[in-house]
Structure 1
Amino acid sequence: MILNKAIEKAHDYGVLVMFSHTIFSLSFALISMLLASDGLPSHYVIFWILVAFMGARTGANAINRVIDAEIDAKNPRTAVRQLPQGLLQKKEVIIFTTVCFLIMIIAAAMLNPLCVLLSPIALFLMIIYSYTKRFTWACHLVLGVTSAAAPVGAWLAVTGRISWLPIFIGGANTLWVAGFDIIYGSQDYDFDIANGVYSIPARFGVKNALHIAALFHGITLVLLFIVGILSNQLGIIYYIGLVIISILFIIEHRIVSPNNLSNVKVASYSINQLVSIVFLICGVIDALI
């Protein structure tokens, strides 16, 4: 009985923090780590980077659900989430979030002083994102910048300094995430308008929002191409990966339209999980061979 409840609780938390979406920023973080170390860093560095990453992304998703609980309860699409349903309580999720963020800070301290010094900025971004939809349509970009803290942080963890390469990786991560978040947000156009929720679809209309998402993904490819040029570790396999990603982007934007948003979840999540996997596999092969 106790075991079954524990399993159910773990499942609820896994769904709450969208554990299956970990791959979205993890791929960029791992490639950044490999490029920063010119191969594999020590097991010590790898371990603490992964701990910091998991603490940050898990805490960020949990606090997002707490902050958005009232909005989620009003939206028929999100009313089935754990907090609106009462499967989890705000107080326990806040405690869970605090533990996750403490783990991130401890991991940062185990890496180097610069990571600890910059950790408050990462925490600020992870918390403020959830509030941005209340006052700016640029909330998708804030989410992207928050996600980009993963590859930039991984670079800093290895080198202890910033350079142009992680900036371009972070820029690509930012626009990629913002692009598919815009697509996903298009299905809430009517709800956002009616409830005063800010988003690019609500501000510019679904048709223009999808064009903006496509533009973001086009720039993402350009930035990833520049990453390949700047790095002496990436070569033909990496560029083959970019070609595959380009095809996936084309498919993603072809299967959604203002008049047909039935494939929004496939376009924004399923296809971009493949994008992340392709980027990870091709980048790792080139970085390590």
Structure 2
Amino acid sequence: MLQADGVSTAWINLRNKMKDYGALVMFSHTIFSLSFAIISMLLANNGIPGFYTVFWILVAFLAARTGANALNRVIDAEIDAKNPRTATRQLPQGLLNKKEVLLFAICCFGIMLFAAAMLNPLCLYLSPIALFFMVIYSYTKRFTFLCHIILGISCAAAPVGAWIAVTGEMTWVAFFMGAANTAWVAGFDTIYGAQDYQFDRENGLHSIPATFGLRYGLYIAGLLHIATIVFLVFVGMLSEQIHLFYYIGLGVVTILFFIQHSLVSPSNLKNVSIASYSINQLVSVIFLFFGLIDIIW
């Protein structure tokens, strides 16, 4: 009976630990760049690649974004503890410790590099560049308002890397997919950062809202999302597999962008999480769905 209780306790502890890690790395946000990576992969191959390629692309993607999020939590642990909005995160609460999370991040990055090596030499050679942006991002808020752009570039490694994994080369389609992913993420991260406007200013942290003010910060976020649509139009123009449904999807995404920006204003930030995360999860799903219809059909 005591042994059974011990097994039960160990299982509960393991389950809670996994739950804490899932929350730590925001695993539910994986969808953000996954859609761009999948569409890029399918465009590069003119259809679904072989299982080997798909498997190692997904491994590289999941390992990279998980490691990057874990490392971000370690680097920002002290800042998160000071900010009332983030003080309940796993590291400030002591639910996880910095050493184990850092080790977890290193393991994830090791898996990413191994997966890149399993794809092709160019993926392996370029992976340290992606790794550099994933690491440096967490420090950028300490010295530049371009932190949102750096985050976007880090996320853009997904579609660009997927393209290179399939073709072994860089093209304009891959560039515009990466540019669209960069602008999209930077835009909604700027909206998300608006809620920390006062905290960032008081603590010497940098962001677009803290540097330019809430009103102009939200304007810049809007411009970034306009750029996202423009870049995705370029992707469509350069891709023979893209037809009507893709552009219908872009129309729906444009409407969602409009709704997103209508939900927030300098005097009303209560819907920031909905605008920056919930709606953009839907944007990702819509982009993936309509892109798949055009490419697969």
TM range (shorter): over 0.9
In 2, Cα distance between the equivalents of 1:268 and 1:136? 21
* Deviations, residues 115-168 of structure 1 (Å, cap 9, x unaligned): 111111111110000000000000000000010010000000000000000100
Aligned to 2:283: 275
- The residue that corresponds to 1:211 in the other structure is 219
Deviation of 1:219 (Å): 0.9
Mapped pair 1:186 → 2:189:
no
Q: Distance in 1 between matches of 2:125 and 2:113?
A: 10
Identify the match of residue 68 of structure 2 among 48, 56, 60: 60
Aligned ranges 1:90-101 → 2 under 5 Å: 90-101=98-109
Name the structure 2 match of 1:28: 36
Q: Does 1:265 align with 2:273?
A: yes
Q: AA paired with 1:244? A: V
CA shift at 1:172, angstroms? 0.4
- Return the letter of the residue paired with 1:125: F
2:158 aligned to 150, 165, 168, which one?
150
Where does residue 241 of structure 1 map in the other structure? Answer: 249
In the aligned structure 1, how far is the partner of 2:158 from the partner of 2:262? 29
Which consecutive residues of structure 1, in runs of 5 or more, have no partner in the other structure? none
- In structure 1, how many angstroms separate the alpha carbons of the residues matched to 2:127 and 2:252? 35
* Structure 2 equivalent of residue 73 of structure 1: 81
CA offset at residue 226 of structure 1? 1.0
Aligned to 1:223: 231
Paired with 1:120 and 1:163, the residues of 2 have a C-alpha distance of 20
Number of positions where the alignment pairs a residue of Structure 1 with one of Structure 2: 289
Give the Å deviation of 1:100: 0.5
The CA RMSD measured in Å over matched residues stands at: 0.4
Runs of 4+ in 1 over 2 A off after TM superposition: none
Q: Distance in 1 between matches of 2:191 and 2:115?
A: 34
- Aligned: 1:3 with 2:11: yes
Matched, 1:159 2:182: no
What TM-score do you get using the length of structure 1 for normalisation? 0.99
Please list every run of 5 or more consecutive structure 2 residues that lacks an aligned counterpart in the other structure: 1-8
- Which of these two proteins has the greater Rg computed from alpha carbons? 2
Identity %: 65
Q: 1:41 aligns with which of 49, 52, 55?
A: 49
1:68 offset after TM fit, Å? 0.4
- Tell me how far 1:114 sits from its aligned partner: 0.7
